[in-house]
Amino acid sequence: MNTDAPYQQYICDACGYIYDEAEGDPDGGLAAGTRYADIPDDWACPLCGVTKADFRLYRAPSREELMARSGAAPTAVVRRGGPAGVVIVGAGRAGWSMAQALRERDAALPITLVTRCAGDVYDKPLLSVAVARRLDDGALVRESGAAAAARLGVRLMARTEAVRICPDTRSLRTTRGTLRYDRLVLAHGAQACLPPALPAELCWRVNHLDAYRRLRAALGDVPRDVLIVGAGLIGCELANDLALGGHRITLLDQASHPLGRWPQQQAADPLLAAWQDLNIRFVGGAQVQQLERAGGALRLTTACGQRFAADQVIAAAGLATPPRLAQGAGLAWHNGIAVDAATLRTSDPHIHALGDCIAIDGQPSRYIEPIARQAQAIAAAVCGTAPAPYQPRAAVVRVKTTSCPLTLH
Amino acid sequence: MNPADLPRDAVATTAEGLLDAVRAVARGPLAEVAEAIDRQGHYPREVLQQLGALGAMSAHLDAPAGRGDYGLALRAMAEVSRVCGATGFMVWCHAVCGLYMQASGNPALGGDALMAHATGRTLGGTAMSNPMKSYAQIESLLLKAVPVDGGYRVSGSLPWVSNLGPDHACGALAGVVDERGDVVREVMFLLRCDAPGVELRDCPSFAGMEGTGTWALRLKDHFIGADEIMADPAKPFIARIRGAFVMLQCGMALGVTQGAIDTMWAVEDQLGHVNQFLDERPAELQAELDALEARVMKLAQTPFDPSPAFFIEVLDARAHGAELSLRAAQSALLHQGARGYLMSSEVQRRVRESHFVAIVTPAIKHLRKEIARLSAEVLPA
């Protein structure tokens, strides 16, 4: 061994103790300067007693490297004490609209936004368009979460899971600590449903930017066989846009025609006509029974014994509000978080909700248009400004088939 | 009254009877040695065996070893922890070891062996900190098992395993390696401390809770055979018991928090006129503790619910318990003032115990990381 080589450090994988060759372990019988290679096998970690075999070479990173790795930017001091203000859960369209509506009315109100994702601002309806144009996610993000937070004076807690609401202490338990609130606004949206026959690890659901990124990477840049389960609005748009992106689409649904919620002459017929020149095969009356890996591909079997092979499978079987937060807090629930139509207040007077997670009279409304008006109604109530009661309206739905856009009522 | 002198059936006919008897042990013989346990490394074998004789460490086990009542096991553990957090922790160690033995279904670990454990005639712990962290993707497995005729030879070292002694045993887990040294599955087994190839080694001093019988374990070609094996493969077994494992620890958190609140009330008469200016007062903390206890008791009705949603609930209740014990102990120190700053003060011990509740596996940070992992939507790789 080259005795002039610089001394190195070795770290204990069990407890984190660092053996420094320069210092040795005099209490453990290793003189200063003892090389790792020369440590006897029966030597024990002075802290936890494991042996040399559980140590590995270690180079301590600099403070700057650690800062960079944790993504820690110099940040403003987080205010402690004083009013707790408003805590918003979710950083989709509903969460950011809420923050903006509050800030427009009150420049000093403390606002904290808690979100599972990075908090980047983007338009969810464009996710399927992005698939067609093979856009990378940079083209979708209109503003980073950090920039939006700075612009609105919001404390953004990104990559943070909201775990439980404690209404009695008015606090929200999260995976990065517990937040007090004066008012809580739930804007966490809905989750893509997964039919029981489809294993989660084999089947995409494209309901947020992270999932889009991963699907985009899995599709790559060559045409693929893609199977879409569910021919509602989302499934049809995905089929349309993936076909435009050059992929070969098989679209399955239990119903006999696509867009089954609308009359066939108004929806399915013109849609299928518009798709004539696209590589989309619609298969109606198909009930999924099994999805499994078969060689390098996936194989889907229906109840009536039809088999389909595909490179990727996407479920578009509707949305449902995740019940954990609302039900853990004992909030009234009726197909989603039950709210009063005019005020968007839940059964707890300190908690409001808007967007995809709510249901009014048991009726969810998962469209973009109402969100801004809902945010205004809540902001008026929270800030005590002129009331702006929300009025539900029947949604007008545009189906974005590029060759023949449909408007459905 | 010495509960150990009473016939077991006389005290243990009702849940309340059992809890009364546990309180008598905790406030009597345990209170006398609590300081020695914390600071001088006194291992309270007699107290643990008294608690075992009462059925306080086996209430969660199915009959005949116990009463199949997780709520009762938690409340008993809380009564012990209210007086001494270190002993409450050892009750947990012993209780989960019993859970492993019974849930294993191995006849060699049931019957007389299980009854001896359930009644505290034999004592044991759990070496599952490293495997639990391994499943949560926090660290890698430290014990390796090489298949041999009739069983395995296990080698490796584990730091800081508690409620051990020369005549103790603990549940442990090793990665089974193939010829290339790759871990292909896991095996869980009962590790007897007096068996060949097992060495207990001293640990350095801890900040408190010195009498918990905590050792480093070193295994060298230690043989385990059919009589020791709890689960092979171990993963489905761990998935089945993980909720109960974490949930039982809540008893420690509830008790340590209650003990801290008790010490706040103890000075209220003299210091209430100034303590009223403090942030967290005992009545507020008690209300939060009572709500948490109610939440835990509800979870305790279905300890083997396999759903991820249930396990997340258990993890969060455990995290809340750790956070609350930290706040309560800190607040107790502020309430007691200078007298709470004496090294001999019970409040000093509470502070150290609350730190332990917060850092012992699963620590607050582990719990949160695991909740985040389990909450993420599963998508194709």
A-contacting residues of B 309-368, CB under 8 Å? Answer: 309, 312-313, 316, 319-320, 323, 368
Q: Three-state SS across A6-52?
A: CCCEEEECCCCCEEECCCCEHHHCECCCCCHHHCCCCCECCCCCCEH
Residue B302 to residues A166, B89, B370, B374: CA-CA distances in angstroms?
Answer: 22, 22, 20, 19
> Do the Cβ atoms of A47 and B201 come within 8 Å?
no
Q: Report which of A104, A158, A148 is spatially closest to residue A122, judged by C-alpha positions.
A: A148
> Do the Cβ atoms of B139 and A13 come within 8 Å?
yes
* Per-residue pLDDT tens digits for B33-85: 999 999 999 999 999 999 999 999 999 999 999 999 999 999 999 999 999 99
Interface test with A, best of B202, B316, B359, B365 (most A CBs within 10 A): B316
Interval A281-302 mean pLDDT: 94
Interval A359-366 mean pLDDT: 92
Give the one of A13, A46, A191 whose C-beta lies nearest to B140's C-beta.
A13
A-contacting residues of B 141-200, CB under 8 Å? Answer: 142, 156-160
Interval A156-184 mean pLDDT: 96
Interval A304-312 mean pLDDT: 95
Chain pair A-B, CB pairs under 8 angstroms: 94
Q: Which residue of B has its CA nearest to A17?
A: B159
| Residue A75 pLDDT grade (very low, low, confident, very high; cuts 50, 70, 90) | low
Predicted local distance difference test score (pLDDT) of residue B345: 93
DSSP state of A54: G
Return the ∠ at Cα B132 (arms to B126 and B138), rounded to 5°.
140
| Cβ neighbours of B156 in A, within 8 Å | 50, 53-54
What integer best gives the mean pLDDT of chain B? Answer: 94
Check if the beta carbon of residue A271 is closer than 8 Å to that of residue A257. Answer: no
The tokens for B141 are: 């497995």
Position A388 pLDDT exceeds 80: yes
> Do the Cβ atoms of A14 and B288 come within 8 Å?
no
Predicted local distance difference test score (pLDDT) of residue A48: 86
Q: Which strand (E) or helix (H) includes residue A233?
A: helix A233-244
- Using CA atoms, how far apart are residues B151 and B148, in angstroms rounded to an integer? 5
> Do the Cβ atoms of A49 and B218 come within 8 Å?
yes
- Using CA atoms, how far apart are residues A19 and A45, in angstroms rounded to an integer? 9
> Do the Cβ atoms of B291 and A200 come within 8 Å?
no
> Do the Cβ atoms of A163 and B140 come within 8 Å?
no
Check if the beta carbon of residue A291 is closer than 8 Å to that of residue A299. Answer: yes
Position A279 pLDDT exceeds 90: yes
Position B4 pLDDT exceeds 60: no
- Using CA atoms, how far apart are residues A336 and A355, in angstroms rounded to an integer? 11
Predicted local distance difference test score (pLDDT) of residue A395: 78
Give the one of A50, A161, A200 whose C-beta lies nearest to B375's C-beta.
A161
Interface residues on A facing B, Cβ-Cβ cutoff 8 A: 13-15, 44-51, 53-54, 116, 159, 161, 163-164, 166, 168-169, 173, 175-176, 178, 191, 200-205, 211, 214, 218, 312, 324, 328
Predicted local distance difference test score (pLDDT) of residue B10: 47
Predicted local distance difference test score (pLDDT) of residue B114: 97
| Cβ neighbours of B381 in A, within 8 Å | 201
Interval A231-255 mean pLDDT: 92
> Do the Cβ atoms of B157 and A15 come within 8 Å?
no
Position A71 pLDDT exceeds 80: no
Beta-bridged to residue A315, according to DSSP, are A229
Residue B372 to residues A174, A225, A329, A387, B305: CA-CA distances in angstroms?
Answer: 9, 33, 19, 38, 19
Check if the beta carbon of residue B97 is closer than 8 Å to that of residue B79. Answer: no
Position A273 pLDDT exceeds 50: yes
| Residue B1 pLDDT grade (very low, low, confident, very high; cuts 50, 70, 90) | very low
User: Cβ of B381 under 8 Å from any chain A Cβ?
Assistant: yes
- How many of the other CB atoms lie within 10 Å of CB of B296? 26
Which of the pair, B135 or A198, is modelled with greater confidence?
A198
DSSP state of A121: B
- Using CA atoms, how far apart are residues B380 and A203, in angstroms rounded to an integer? 6
Q: Report which of A302, A286, A207, A262 is spatially closest to residue A399, judged by C-alpha positions.
A: A262
> Do the Cβ atoms of A163 and B371 come within 8 Å?
yes
Residue B35 to residues A151, B42, B87, B344, B359: CA-CA distances in angstroms?
Answer: 55, 9, 11, 8, 21
- How many of the other CB atoms lie within 10 Å of CB of B60? 28
Q: Report CA A371 to chain centroid distance, whole Å.
A: 18
Interval A403-408 mean pLDDT: 69
> Do the Cβ atoms of A13 and B375 come within 8 Å?
no
A-contacting residues of B 200-219, CB under 8 Å? Answer: 201-204, 216-218
| Cβ neighbours of A312 in B, within 8 Å | 380
Sign of torsion, CA B158 B163 B168 B169? negative
Q: How far is A343 from chain B (nearest CA, A)?
A: 30
Q: Which residue of A has its CA nearest to B379?
A: A201
Interval B81-98 mean pLDDT: 98
What integer best gives the mean pLDDT of chain A? Answer: 91
| Cβ neighbours of B218 in A, within 8 Å | 44, 49-51
The tokens for A292 are: 């499994």
Interface test with A, best of B142, B157, B285, B296 (most A CBs within 10 A): B157
Q: How far is A313 from chain B (nearest CA, A)?
A: 9
| Cβ neighbours of B144 in A, within 8 Å | none
- Using CA atoms, how far apart are residues B328 and B349, in angstroms rounded to an integer? 13
Residue B365 to residues A159, A196, B226: CA-CA distances in angstroms?
Answer: 15, 33, 37
Check if the beta carbon of residue A236 is closer than 8 Å to that of residue A128. Answer: no
| Residue B276 pLDDT grade (very low, low, confident, very high; cuts 50, 70, 90) | very high
Q: Three-state SS across chain B?
A: CCHHHCCHHHHHCCHHHHHHHHHHHHHHHHHHHHHHHHHHCCCCHHHHHHHHHHCCCCCCCCCCCCCCCHHHHHHHHHHHHHHCHHHHHHHHHHHHHHHHHHHHCCHHHCHHHHHHHHCCCCCEEECCHHHHHHHCCCCCCCCEEEEECCEEEEEEEEEEECCCCCCCEEEEEEEEECCCCCEEEEEEEEEECCCCCEEEECCCCCCCCCCCCCEEEEEEEEEEECCCEEECCCHHHHHHHHHHHHHHHHHHHHHHHHHHHHHHHHCHHHHHHHHCCCCCCHHHHHHHHHHHHHHHHHHCCCCCCCCHHHHHHHHHHHHHHHHHHHHHHHHHHHHHHHHHHCCCCHHHHHHHHHHHHHHCCCCHHHHHHHHHHHHCCCCCC
Which of the pair, A13 or A255, is modelled with greater confidence?
A255
> Do the Cβ atoms of B203 and A14 come within 8 Å?
no
Interval B233-248 mean pLDDT: 96
* Residues in CB range of A13: below 8 A, 6 or more apart: A50, A54, A55, A56, B139, B140, B142
Position A361 pLDDT exceeds 80: yes
Predicted local distance difference test score (pLDDT) of residue A404: 66
| Cβ neighbours of B287 in A, within 8 Å | 168
Amino acid sitting at position A287: Q
The tokens for B251 are: 């008893």
Amino acid sitting at position B343: M
* Per-residue pLDDT tens digits for B134-152: 888 888 899 999 999 999 9
Helices (H), A78-166: 93-105, 126-133, 145-152
Strands A177-180 and A171-174: antiparallel
